[in-house]
Structure 1
Amino acid sequence: MKVIKFGGSSLASSQQLKKVIDIVKDDPARRCVVVSAPGKRNPADTKVTDLLIRYAEHVISGSDYEKIQGEIISRYQEIALGFSLTPEEFAPIKRAILNLPLKKYKNNTYLMAAFKAHGEKLNAQLIARVFNIVGIAAQYLDPKDAGMVVTDVPDDAQILPESYANMRKWQNNANVLVVPGFFAYNEEGAICTFSRGGSDITGAVMSRGLNADLYENFTDVDAIYSVNPNIVSHPHAIAHMTFREMRELSYAGFSVFHDEALIPAIQGDIAVNVRNTNHPEAPGTIISARIKPNKEYPVRGITASKHFCGLYISKYLLNKEVGFTRKVLDVLYKFNISYEHMPSGIDDITIIMSEDNLTPELEQSLMSELQTAIHPDEMHMIHDYAVVMVVGEGMHDTIGIMAKATKALAQAGIRLQMINQGASEISIMFGVAQDEADRSVAALYGEFFQHD
Structure 2
Amino acid sequence: MKVVKFGGSSVASAEQLVKVGDIIKEDDSRKFIVVSAPGKRTKEDIKITDLLIELGNTYIHKMDYKKVKQIILQRFNDIIENLALQLSLLDEIEESIDKGLIDLEYNLENIDCLKAIGEDSSAKILSAYLQKLGLNARYLNPKQAGIIVSNEPGNAHILPDSYKKIQTLREKEGIMVIPGFFGYTEEDELMTFSRGGSDITGSIIAAGVKASLYENFTDVDSVYKVNPTIVDNPKEIRTLTYKEMRELSYAGFSVFHDEALIPAFNAQIPVCIKNTNNPSKPGTMIVSEKKQDEKCVVGIASDIGFTSIYISKYLMNREVGFGRKLFQILEEEGVSFEHAPSGIDDMSIIIRESRLGSDKEEIILKRFKEELQPDQVDIHRDLAIVMVVGEGLVSTIGVAQKATTAFAEANVNIEMINQGSSEVSMMFGIKKEDLSKAVRSLYYHFFE
SS in structure 1 of the partner of residue 382 of structure 2? strand
**What residue number does 1:146 align with?**
145
- Please tell me the root mean square deviation across aligned C-alpha atoms, in Å: 1.5
SS in structure 1 of the partner of residue 70 of structure 2? helix
Q: Are 2:414 and 2:430, in contact at CA under 8 Å, matched by a contact in 1? A: yes
Counterpart AA for 2:100? L
Task: Please show how residues 178-257 of structure 1 align to structure 2 within 5 Å.
Answer: 178-257=177-256
Deviations 1:331-381 (A, max 9, x none): 222212222222222322212222222111111111111111122221111
**What residue number does 2:259 align with?**
260
SS in structure 2 of the partner of residue 385 of structure 1? strand
Report the Cα offset of residue 423 of structure 1. 2.9
TM-score (structure 1 length as normaliser): 0.96
Alignment pair present for 1:442 and 2:419: no
Counterpart AA for 1:215? Y
**What residue number does 2:379 align with?**
381
Q: Are 1:109 and 1:155, in contact at CA under 8 Å, matched by a contact in 2? A: no
Deviates more, 1:28-37 or 1:72-81: 72-81
**What residue number does 2:332 align with?**
334
Alignment pair present for 1:365 and 2:363: yes
**What residue number does 2:284 align with?**
285
Structure 1 gap ranges (5+) = none
Residues of 2 paired with 1:71 and 1:214: CA distance?
37
Report the Cα offset of residue 248 of structure 1. 1.1
Report the Cα offset of residue 86 of structure 1. 3.2
Q: Cα–Cα, structure 1 residues 331 and 99, in superposed 2: closer, same or farther, change >3 Å?
A: closer
SS in structure 2 of the partner of residue 109 of structure 1? coil
Residues of 2 paired with 1:66 and 1:210: CA distance?
41
SS in structure 1 of the partner of residue 171 of structure 2? coil
**What residue number does 2:158 align with?**
159
Q: Cα–Cα, structure 1 residues 447 and 174, in superposed 2: closer, same or farther, change >3 Å?
A: same
Deviations 1:102-150 (A, max 9, x none): 347651232x100010111111112111110111110100000111100
Q: Are 2:89 and 2:125, in contact at CA under 8 Å, matched by a contact in 1? A: no
Residues of 2 paired with 1:98 and 1:26: CA distance?
37
Report the Cα offset of residue 418 of structure 1. 1.1
Q: Between the two proteins, what is the percent identity of the paired residues?
A: 46
Counterpart AA for 2:405? K
**What residue number does 1:169 align with?**
168
Counterpart AA for 1:304? S
Counterpart AA for 1:222? D
Residues of 2 paired with 1:81 and 1:266: CA distance?
40
Residues of 2 paired with 1:187 and 1:161: CA distance?
12
Residues of 2 paired with 1:330 and 1:104: CA distance?
34
Residues of 1 paired with 2:32 and 2:284: CA distance?
20
Counterpart AA for 1:355? E
SS in structure 2 of the partner of residue 395 of structure 1? coil
**What residue number does 1:114 align with?**
113
Residues of 1 paired with 2:163 and 2:137: CA distance?
22
Q: Are 1:197 and 1:261, in contact at CA under 8 Å, matched by a contact in 2? A: no
Deviates more, 1:406-415 or 1:141-150: 406-415
Alignment pair present for 1:22 and 2:22: yes
Task: Please show how residues 80-99 of structure 1 align to structure 2 within 5 Å.
Answer: 80-88=80-88, 90-99=90-99
Counterpart AA for 2:223? I
Of 404, 407, 412, the residue aligned with 1:406 is 404
Residues of 1 paired with 2:177 and 2:185: CA distance?
21
SS in structure 1 of the partner of residue 286 of structure 2? strand
Q: Are 2:20 and 2:276, in contact at CA under 8 Å, matched by a contact in 1? A: yes
Deviations 1:197-251 (A, max 9, x none): 2100000011011110000000000000010001111111000000000111112
SS in structure 1 of the partner of residue 278 of structure 2? coil
Alignment pair present for 1:62 and 2:59: no
Residues of 2 paired with 1:66 and 1:311: CA distance?
45
Deviations 1:143-200 (A, max 9, x none): 0011110000111000000000011111132110000000111111111000022100
Residues of 1 paired with 2:66 and 2:347: CA distance?
55
Counterpart AA for 1:136? L
Deviations 1:253-294 (A, max 9, x none): 211122211111111100110000000011000001011122
**What residue number does 2:414 align with?**
416
Q: Are 2:80 and 2:87, in contact at CA under 8 Å, matched by a contact in 1? A: no
Residues of 2 paired with 1:218 and 1:305: CA distance?
23
Q: Are 1:304 and 1:438, in contact at CA under 8 Å, matched by a contact in 2? A: no
Report the Cα offset of residue 386 of structure 1. 1.6
Counterpart AA for 1:324? F
Q: Cα–Cα, structure 1 residues 102 and 362, in superposed 2: closer, same or farther, change >3 Å?
A: closer
Q: Are 2:244 and 2:424, in contact at CA under 8 Å, matched by a contact in 1? A: yes
SS in structure 2 of the partner of residue 308 of structure 1? strand
Q: Cα–Cα, structure 1 residues 343 and 85, in superposed 2: closer, same or farther, change >3 Å?
A: closer
SS in structure 1 of the partner of residue 255 of structure 2? coil
Q: Are 2:81 and 2:87, in contact at CA under 8 Å, matched by a contact in 1? A: no
Structure 2 gap ranges (5+) = none
Q: Cα–Cα, structure 1 residues 96 and 334, in superposed 2: closer, same or farther, change >3 Å?
A: closer
SS in structure 2 of the partner of residue 95 of structure 1? helix
Counterpart AA for 2:143? K
Alignment pair present for 1:353 and 2:351: yes
Counterpart AA for 2:375? D
Q: Are 2:73 and 2:90, in contact at CA under 8 Å, matched by a contact in 1? A: no
Residues of 1 paired with 2:437 and 2:100: CA distance?
47
Residues of 2 paired with 1:377 and 1:90: CA distance?
64
Q: Are 1:93 and 1:126, in contact at CA under 8 Å, matched by a contact in 2? A: no
Deviates more, 1:374-383 or 1:214-223: 374-383
Residues of 2 paired with 1:129 and 1:121: CA distance?
13
